[in-house]
């Protein structure tokens, strides 16, 4: 999809008529800044691309800027809000929750904030999950806790039942924190709300360690994940150097996108091979992975390999495809496959070696956020509140071209963001590692 084909229109529940309480000076003195709906951030920042659109008499596409508005839609004294976290855990979930609660309570005066337990299951009566009253006191010390204080779950739930629950609870704004599956569900919930003629705002906050949400330049938790992944790479490198013909093999998250593997490899440039889903490779053959790995080890005495979990899935085509509760294709373990193939290859060649296999995935996703992610989450949570209070709906708060913006939810879920094999990130990885294409000229896997 070309940027100029993207509809950036943001839906609203109606005209915002209530003067924002943020207009009043705070006890600390001064007021706040405000953003108008006509303040927009260009999708293209390349002057050549903008000039080309102008030549074709096309408007340059732009996102609506995020931030507080002078008038709001909801009456804070009567408003009830709900928060839910869905899907896999991610550093920063509690930071988002805290940011949303504090902004609603202290800045807008909203006193009724409900936490939905265990993802979308929390809306469905048959599961029996209780709700949680979220107050400044209950969230003040959650920054140092990993995971989510609300819990999570995977799997589809009945959209009509969810909207029934929202009606019974008299919810005015629903904040949904999750990845592409959660945002797809949020879009359906917003549509069902519109069909019923209800005035409920649905605001999405994108969450993915893989950093693969489309039209989101950076997702929270990614910075923390890179930090911890870098430590794993450092440990693998130290292990590999300590033994004759040592090999460190690290599997990182990245179902369809290799941003974490590529970025972590650049953050700690001790990596010799990076394997990601977007770039196919051969395991065997004269220019395949194993022969290249053998050459590196015999010449330098050690090697470090980073593989994203979604890489090399074509090597499992003879196995049955299965899906998890969220409908995602269950990935076969490329890390264990490579581990077995490396051991067999060196044994067959009669080359003694020491292999250390590290998979830090569940450690990474359940840890507290680092300082950079905490600051980022603070901005995201507060801008989500500003969007909801002003009556906007069916949007995702995104970071784009160094600004926080509103992106229509339906545009975000059209596809995944992926590493461009011809782009700067992957080119820099190749420069840093020195790895070849790892493809044989006559490979049956070659496109």
Q: How far is CA 272 from CA 59, 231, 353, in A?
A: 45, 16, 17
For the question of residue 133 being annotated catalytic, the response is no
What angle is formed at CA 90 by the lines to CA 201 and CA 369, rounded to 5 degrees? 105
Give phi and psi for 363, each to the nearest 5. Answer: -70, -45
Rounded to an integer, what distance in angstroms lies between the CA atom of residue 376 and that of residue 373?
A: 5
Annotated binding-site residue numbers for ATP: 88, 154-155, 179-182
Q: Which residues are annotated as a binding site for Mg(2+)?
A: 180
Residues 6+ apart with CB under 8 A from 254: 210, 212, 260, 261, 276, 277, 308, 309, 310, 311
**CB-based contacts of 447: which residues, under 8 Å, 6+ apart?**
280
- Which residues contribute to the annotated binding site? 88, 154-155, 179-182, 208-210, 253-255, 309, 362-365
Nearest to 154 by CA among 130, 176, 121: 121
Beta strand residue intervals within 293-437, DSSP E = 302-308, 354-358, 392-393, 395-400, 403-408
Quote the CA–CA distance of 307 and 247 in Å, as a whole number.
Answer: 13
C-beta neighbour count of 356 within 10 angstroms: 18
Which of 210, 212, 223, 227 is catalytic? The answer is 210
Burial string for 306-336 (b: 16+ CB within 10 Å, else e) reads bbbbbbbbebeeeeeeeeeebebeebbebbe
Tokens of 70: 């002078």
| Chain mean position to CA 25 | 36
> Which residues belong to the annotated binding site for substrate?
208-210, 253-255, 309, 362-365
Count CB atoms within 10 A of the CB of residue 125: 10
350: left (phi over 0), alpha (psi -120 to 50) or beta: left
Residues 50, 44 contacting (CB under 8 angstroms): yes
Q: Residues 6 or more apart from 408 whose CB is under 8 A from it?
A: 7, 8, 9, 10, 11, 394, 395, 396
339 burial class (0-12, 13-18, 19+ CB within 10 angstroms)?
buried
Alpha carbons 253 and 130: distance in angstroms, whole number: 32
Catalytic sites, residue numbers? 210
């Amino acid at each position: 999809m070309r940027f100029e084909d993207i509809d950036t229109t943001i839906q609203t529940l109606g005209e915002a008529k209530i003067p924002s309480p943020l207009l009043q000076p705070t006890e600390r003195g001064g007021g706040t800044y405000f953003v108008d709906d006509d303040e927009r951030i260009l999708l293209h920042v390349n002057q050549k691309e903008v000039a080309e659109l102008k030549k074709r008499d096309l408007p340059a596409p732009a996102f609506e800027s995020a931030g507080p508005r002078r008038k709001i839609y909801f009456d804070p004294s009567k408003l009830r809000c709900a928060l839910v976290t869905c899907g896999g855990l991610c550093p920063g979930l509690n930071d988002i929750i805290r940011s949303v609660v504090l902004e609603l309570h202290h800045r807008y005066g909203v006193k009724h904030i409900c936490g939905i337990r265990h993802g979308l299951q929390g809306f469905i009566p048959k599961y029996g999950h209780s709700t949680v009253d979220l107050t400044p006191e209950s969230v003040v010390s959650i920054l140092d806790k990993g995971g989510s204080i609300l819990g999570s779950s995977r799997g589809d739930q009945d959209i009509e039942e969810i909207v029934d629950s929202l009606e019974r609870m008299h919810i005015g704004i629903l904040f949904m924190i999750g990845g592409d599956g959660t945002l797809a569900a949020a879009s359906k919930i917003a549509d069902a709300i519109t069909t019923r003629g209800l005035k409920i705002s649905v605001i999405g906050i994108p969450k993915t360690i893989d950093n693969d949400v489309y039209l989101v330049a950076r997702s929270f938790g990614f910075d923390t994940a890179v930090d911890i992944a870098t430590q794993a790479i450092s440990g693998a490198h130290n292990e590999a150097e300590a033994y004759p013909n040592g090999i460190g093999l690290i599997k990182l998250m990245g179902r369809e996108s290799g941003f974490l593997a590529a970025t972590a490899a650049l953050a700690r440039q001790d990596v010799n091979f990076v394997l990601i889903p977007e770039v196919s490779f051969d395991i065997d053959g004269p220019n395949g992975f194993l022969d290249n790995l053998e050459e590196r080890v015999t010449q330098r005495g050690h090697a470090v390999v980073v593989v994203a979990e979604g890489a090399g899935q074509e090597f499992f085509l003879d196995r049955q495809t299965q899906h998890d509760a969220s409908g995602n294709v269950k990935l076969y373990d490329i890390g264990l496959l490579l581990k077995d193939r490396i051991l067999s290859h060196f044994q067959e060649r009669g080359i003694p070696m020491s292999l250390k296999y590290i998979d830090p995935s569940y450690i990474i996703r359940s840890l507290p956020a680092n300082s950079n992610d905490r600051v980022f989450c603070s901005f995201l949570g507060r801008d989500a509140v500003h969007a909801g209070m002003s009556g906007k709906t069916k949007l995702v708060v995104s970071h784009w071209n160094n600004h926080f913006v509103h992106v229509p939810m339906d545009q975000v879920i059209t596809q995944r963001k992926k590493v461009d094999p011809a782009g700067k990130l992957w080119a820099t990885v190749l420069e840093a590692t020195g790895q070849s294409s790892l493809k044989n000229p006559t490979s049956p896997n070659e496109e």
